């Protein structure tokens, strides 16, 4: 069968994350469901394979799903999508789509052996079904780890696979953006630049049938969990696992491989292995949806140092050419209109809002019966980024300020905290947040920008 399949490896133990990565919330779904939707919306894959070691509730998977049986109908309620070592076949109709996609769900045969075991389970189950002759399945599968929240099929890799495998006489594709449905709007700049990358693919170990197409960064790093593999690789992986191999690179060294050059600074290949890496990625993704990206500075009581941290960040970011706004919460109420001023007299007369403008700026005051959202106020600012300073009303991502003599609990849920500025207390593990002292304002600003917590870079 011609065409390309898509295999998602989601059966790992997630030891460093501390919980199942496939089920981590991501935008409107989970890491697993969003990975599947991005795949089918960006390329016409002819078959899907999910490698996972637990049942999937119907509510975990978007759209309509039903098993391939004589009596099979759409799963109802919280019915399970059940993996087996041989593989269970389902039909999947993604939301807002008329397409119906064949989907194989399979579990690891080799337990606790890492992602290499997931590749073996998926490819060998696919091969067994194809060899039985009951179902036509693709020979090649783009194989992706579930912990890559920004991954979409890379036009550069797809182009190389198409030119090499589909037809020897396929015309050269000078621009990967011309491949039908291979990139979404968010990645058009990467696709458009594909023609500017010199094809230095190493084919020295390639026979008539290359078994893998391997993305290789400029710094030499490989991306074996975002590569295209021939389904016959499954038997080779089985032999490697039986010999005690656990590294994905061992497969790369064992099969004929085409190396595909990619940029080293490519967000789609960024993965999340720890709670902090997940929070950093989520902060980037959420701030990309905001008109003005924000970070909250919060503490569990007043006089802790929130304003000191916020003003130091404003100074450091401003020195780097970034326009910064501040929205501060005042639980006691405030006034900007004094009785003897013109605006104060307008307010006393019943004005619902007053504004004043001068050569050095303007101020606008709305008199409302309730406090407006700090996030809403930040979105109306004409700035590059905004800081929210509040004890209770901030939004993710949050920087918590702690003092040695203030040992109360965190002012927010741990999953909202990306960094802690502290003179002693360290209530969260270092895999879950970054720690800074009160004298490390420049280091904090540098980290926010380098990890792109504000989501300002593409």
What pLDDT score does 299 carry?
92
Question: What is the distance in angstroms between the CA of the first residue and the CA of the last residue of the chain?
Answer: 37
Paired residues of 26 in beta bridges: 29
**9-28 as b/e, with b when 16 or more CB fall inside 10 Å?**
bbbbebeebeebbbbbebee
CB-CB contact of 119 with 251 (8 Å): yes
What pLDDT score does 408 carry?
65
Q: Within a 10 A sphere around the Cβ of 122, how many other Cβ atoms? A: 30
Which has the closest alpha carbon to 385: 458, 455, 328? 455
* Pair type for strands 434-436 and 29-30: unpaired
Cα angle: 432, vertex 437, 441; to 5 degrees: 100
Residue 20: both structure tokens together: 């199942």
Which has the closest alpha carbon to 147: 289, 27, 274, 246? 274
Sequence ranges of the domains in the chain? 4-269, 275-331+371-450
What CA–CA distances, in Å, run from 215 to 19, 73, 155?
28, 39, 11
Residue 442: both structure tokens together: 């420049």
CATH superfamily label, 4-269: Spore Coat Polysaccharide Biosynthesis Protein SpsA; Chain A (3.90.550.10)
Classify residue 301 by its DSSP letter: S
Contacts of 101 (CB under 8 A, 6+ apart): 40, 45, 47, 48, 91, 92, 93, 94
Residue 192: both structure tokens together: 């458009």
Within 13 Å of residue 123, how many CA atoms lie on the same side as its CB? 26
- Give one DSSP letter per residue of 132-185, joined into a string: HTSS---SEEEEEETT-TT----HHHHHHHIIIII-TTPPP-S-GGGSTT---G
Using CA atoms, how far apart are residues 127 and 122, in angstroms rounded to an integer? Answer: 9
Classify residue 408 by its DSSP letter: P
pLDDT 10s digit of each residue in the chain, 458 long? 578 999 999 988 888 899 999 999 998 899 999 999 999 999 999 999 999 999 998 889 999 999 987 556 777 777 789 999 999 999 999 998 999 999 999 999 999 999 999 999 999 999 999 999 878 899 999 999 999 999 999 999 999 999 999 865 433 333 333 333 333 333 333 333 333 333 444 544 444 678 999 999 999 999 999 999 999 999 999 999 999 999 999 999 999 999 999 988 789 999 999 999 999 999 999 999 999 999 999 998 888 899 999 999 999 999 999 999 999 876 555 566 666 787 777 777 777 777 777 787 767 776 665 555 888 889 999 999 999 998 877 899 999 999 987 666 788 999 999 999 999 888 999 999 999 999 999 999 999 999 999 998 75
Using CA atoms, how far apart are residues 376 and 298, in angstroms rounded to an integer? Answer: 17
Residue 328: both structure tokens together: 């501060």
Burial of 343: CB neighbours in 10 Å, binned 0-12, 13-18, 19+? middle
Query: Looking up tokens 């491949």, which residue turns up?
Result: 179
- Please write down the long-range contacts of 109-112, taking CB distance under 8 Å and 24 or more positions apart: 109/85, 110/241, 112/13
Within 13 Å of residue 421, how many CA atoms lie on the same side as its CB? 27
- Give one DSSP letter per residue of 174-229, joined into a string: S-GGGSTT---GGGHHHHHGGGGS------TT--SS--EEEEEETTS-B-TTEEEE
The dihedral built from the CA positions of residue 402, 403, 404 and 405, taken in this order, carries a sign that is negative
Using CA atoms, how far apart are residues 228 and 154, in angstroms rounded to an integer? Answer: 11
Name the fold adopted by 275-331+371-450: Rossmann fold (3.40.50)
CB-CB contact of 26 with 147 (8 Å): no
Contacts of 147 (CB under 8 A, 6+ apart): 12, 17, 21, 31, 271, 272, 273
Burial of 76: CB neighbours in 10 Å, binned 0-12, 13-18, 19+? exposed
The dihedral built from the CA positions of residue 382, 385, 391 and 394, taken in this order, carries a sign that is positive
Contacts of 85 (CB under 8 A, 6+ apart): 106, 107, 108, 109, 121, 125
């Amino acid at each position: 069968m011609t065409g390309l399949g898509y295999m998602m490896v989601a059966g790992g133990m997630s030891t460093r994350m501390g919980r199942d990565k496939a089920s981590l919330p991501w935008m409107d779904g989970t890491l697993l469901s969003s990975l599947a939707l991005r795949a089918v919306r960006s390329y016409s894959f002819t078959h899907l394979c999910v490698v996972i070691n637990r049942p999937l509730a119907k509510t975990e998977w978007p759209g309509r799903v039903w098993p391939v049986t004589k009596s099979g109908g759409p799963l109802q309620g919280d019915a399970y999508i059940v993996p087996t070592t041989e593989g269970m076949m389902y039909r999947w109709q993604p939301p807002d789509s008329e397409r119906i996609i064949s989907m194989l769900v399979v579990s690891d045969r080799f337990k606790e052996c890492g992602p290499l075991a997931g590749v073996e389970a998926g490819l060998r189950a696919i091969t067994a079904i194809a060899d039985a002759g009951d179902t036509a399945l693709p020979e090649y599968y783009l194989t992706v780890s579930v912990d890559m929240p920004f991954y979409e099929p890379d036009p550069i890799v797809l182009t190389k696979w198409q030119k090499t495998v589909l037809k020897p006489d396929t015309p050269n594709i000078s621009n990967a953006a011309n491949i039908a449905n291979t990139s979404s709007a968010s990645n058009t700049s990467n696709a458009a630049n594909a023609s500017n990358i010199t094809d230095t693919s190493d084919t020295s170990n390639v026979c008539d049938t290359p078994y893998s197409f391997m993305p290789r960064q400029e710094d030499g790093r490989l991306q074996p969990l975002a590569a295209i593999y021939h389904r016959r690789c499954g038997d080779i992986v089985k032999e490697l696992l039986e010999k005690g191999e656990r590294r994905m690179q061992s497969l790369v060294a064992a099969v004929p491989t085409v190396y595909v050059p990619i940029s080293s600074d490519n967000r789609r290949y960024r993965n999340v292995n720890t709670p902090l890496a997940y929070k950093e990625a989520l902060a980037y993704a959420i701030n990309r949806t905001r008109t003005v990206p924000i970070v909250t500075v919060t503490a569990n009581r007043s006089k802790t140092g929130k304003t000191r941290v916020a003003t130091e960040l404003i100074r450091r970011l401003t020195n780097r050419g970034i326009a910064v706004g501040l929205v501060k919460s005042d639980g006691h109420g405030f006034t900007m209109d004094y009785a003897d001023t013109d605006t104060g007299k307008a307010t006393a007369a019943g004005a619902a809002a007053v504004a004043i403008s001068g050569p050095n700026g303007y101020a606008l005051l709305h008199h409302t019966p309730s406090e407006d959202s700090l996030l809403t106020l930040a979105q109306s600012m004409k700035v590059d980024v905004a800081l929210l300073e509040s004890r209770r009303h901030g939004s993710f991502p949050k920087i918590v300020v702690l003092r040695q003599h203030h040992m109360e609990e965190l002012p927010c849920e741990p999953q909202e905290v990306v960094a802690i500025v502290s003179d002693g207390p360290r209530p969260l593990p270092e895999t879950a947040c970054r720690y800074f002292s009160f004298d490390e304002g420049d280091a904090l600003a540098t980290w926010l920008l380098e990890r792109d917590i504000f989501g300002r870079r593409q």
